[in-house]
Amino acid sequence: MTDLKLVNQDNFLEFVDTFIADSSCIIVGQKGHGKSKLAKHIARALMTSKKTTVQIFDSSLSWLNDFDFIPFQFCADYIEFDAITDSHMLYSIEFEDSQDVNFVVREIIRENYLKRRTLRIAEYMTNKMANTLAETNHKKEDIDTYYIGIIEEAQNFLSTYTLMARENRKWLKIISDCRNLRMSLIFIGQRLADISAKAVERANCYFFGKTISDNDLIKIRRILGSDNKHLIEKIKTLEKGQFLFWDGETACLIDLPEFKPKPHETPQLYFTQKRWFERNLESIWDKELTNEIRFWFTHMQKGLKEAQK
Ligand SMILES: Nc1ncnc2c1ncn2[C@@H]1O[C@H](COP(=O)(O)OP(=O)(O)OP(=O)(O)O)[C@@H](O)[C@H]1O
Ligand SMILES: [Mg+2]
């Protein structure tokens, strides 16, 4: 029977450092339970460490107006956007079709994954060569930052049905390999039943919000093991915003105050998209739409929060 440790505001940073920076996680819980807010706490904690690159993939507009300063890009079929590899980024995914959403997010994460893989191979080859030449003070290439991808609406990527497609099985390889490359992916979804067992077993950390559905409780029981019936009982009674954390050994009750964005801070449009808007504003939209977009764009430079006042 595993003891339940309490994680609150005082020890949350230490918790994130110990358990999250180097693992793949799944956050599940009922609609409105506080999953996105928890992910925001985690993202903020990780962004305070200079050695991480945090990228957030949000297809439900829940971060644009409720998070700290971070560059963001819209990903849509009428706009230019880039897969960025070395900087924090909030990708606001505007595609409607879940296959498009899947494609864009998968390829951006893959870009980061392949870059890290190449670096790792380069490091390996350099070391091998240096050993051969008995050279001792060569400059070693290394992956010195953690990459954390936070992915909303996990069912778009990891449902059993989605993973039947050959291209999508790349997700499983990335989830399995990523820890060796100092990469970790945090998937957020409403029901564990929406996420393929193949993906669930490749993750190594779980956050469970209040769950009452038998279908999900059966799956959670399998993850927690038969000794931990008391944790299952706890999951049934969690309050809004509380989560049970499990990494196969350690169980924690996560009990944080509601996430609040910092005053005067808001995500800001990435500079290449700002330039894209400036270039295209006059040419591609009709006049009425142009005025509306100009208003929105002007305010966007000040931050979306200001615009809503
Ligand atoms: N730690 C907390 N303490 C108190 N209330 C909270 C906490 N976290 C979230 N809430 C409340 O729950 C609401 C929903 O939070 P959030 O948007 O994070 O839920 P969600 O699980 O992501 O929902 P959805 O499934 O719709 O995406 C918040 O607006 C807030 O009022
Ligand atoms: Mg949410």
74 and 113 in a common domain: yes
90 and 203 in a common domain: yes
Whole-angstrom distance, CA of residue 54 vs CA of residue 89 = 7
To the nearest 10°, the Cα dihedral for 73, 78, 83, 88?
Answer: 0
Please tell me whether residue 206 adopts helix, strand or coil conformation. Answer: strand
279 and 196 in a common domain: no
Total number of domains constituting the chain: 2
Assess whether the C-beta atom of 37 lies below 6 angstroms from ligand 1.
yes
DSSP state of 98: H
Q: Per residue in 73-92, pLDDT tens? A: 999 887 889 999 989 999 99
249 and 119 in a common domain: yes
237 and 124 in a common domain: yes
Whole-angstrom distance, CA of residue 99 vs CA of residue 114 = 22
From the number of C-beta atoms within 10 Å of its C-beta (0-12, 13-18, 19+), residue 307 rates as middle
- Strand ranges (E), 209-281: 242-246, 251-255, 268-269
pLDDT of residue 296: 63
Q: Per residue in 14-57, pLDDT tens? A: 999 999 988 899 999 999 999 999 999 999 999 998 789 999 99
Q: For residue 121, what pLDDT band results from cuts at 50, 70 and 90?
A: confident
Assess whether the C-beta atom of 34 lies below 6 angstroms from ligand 1.
yes
The ligand minimizing its distance to the Cα of 37 is 1
216 and 72 in a common domain: yes
Sorted by sequence, the CB contacts under 8 Å of residue 43 that are 6+ apart come out as 54, 56, 67, 148, 150
261 and 184 in a common domain: yes
pLDDT of residue 306 exceeding 90, the answer is: no
241 and 219 in a common domain: yes
pLDDT of residue 134 exceeding 90, the answer is: no
Ligand 1 atom closest to the Cα of residue 188 is 22
Ligand 1 atom closest to the Cα of residue 39 is 18
pLDDT of residue 247: 95
Ligand 1 atom closest to the Cα of residue 33 is 21
Assess whether the C-beta atom of 156 lies below 6 angstroms from ligand 1.
no
Question: 237, 217 in Cβ contact below 8 A?
Answer: no
From the number of C-beta atoms within 10 Å of its C-beta (0-12, 13-18, 19+), residue 80 rates as middle
- Output the CA angle 242-246-248, nearest 5 degrees: 175
302 and 155 in a common domain: no
200 and 291 in a common domain: no
User: Which of 151-165, 256-270, 293-307 shows the lowest mean pLDDT across its residues?
Assistant: 293-307
Q: Per residue in 223-267, pLDDT tens? A: 999 899 999 999 999 999 999 999 999 999 999 999 999 888 889
256 and 166 in a common domain: yes
In sequence order, the β-bridge partners of residue 208 are 28, 244
Looking at per-residue pLDDT, the higher value among 303 and 189 belongs to: 189
Which of 27, 35, 37, 216 for a ligand 1 pocket mutation test, highest count of atoms within 8 Å of Cβ? 37
Ion ligand 2: residue ranges with CB closer than 5 A:
36, 62
Domain end among 253, 268, 283: 268
pLDDT of residue 307: 47
The amino acid sitting at 113 is Y
pLDDT of residue 79: 82
Distance 123 CA to ligand 2 centre (A): 39
Sorted by sequence, the CB contacts under 8 Å of residue 260 that are 6+ apart come out as none
pLDDT of residue 126 exceeding 90, the answer is: no
Does this model's pTM top 0.85?
yes
Task: Output the domain CATH number for residue 113.
Answer: 3.40.50.300
Whole-angstrom distance, CA of residue 227 vs CA of residue 232 = 10
286 and 180 in a common domain: no
Residue whose pair of structure tokens reads 């998070």 in the numeric block: 67
CA distances in angstroms from 6 to 94, 155, 189, listed in the order given: 38, 29, 23
pLDDT of residue 187: 97
**Full domain range(s) for residue 276:** 270-309
Distance 245 CA to ligand 1 centre (A): 17
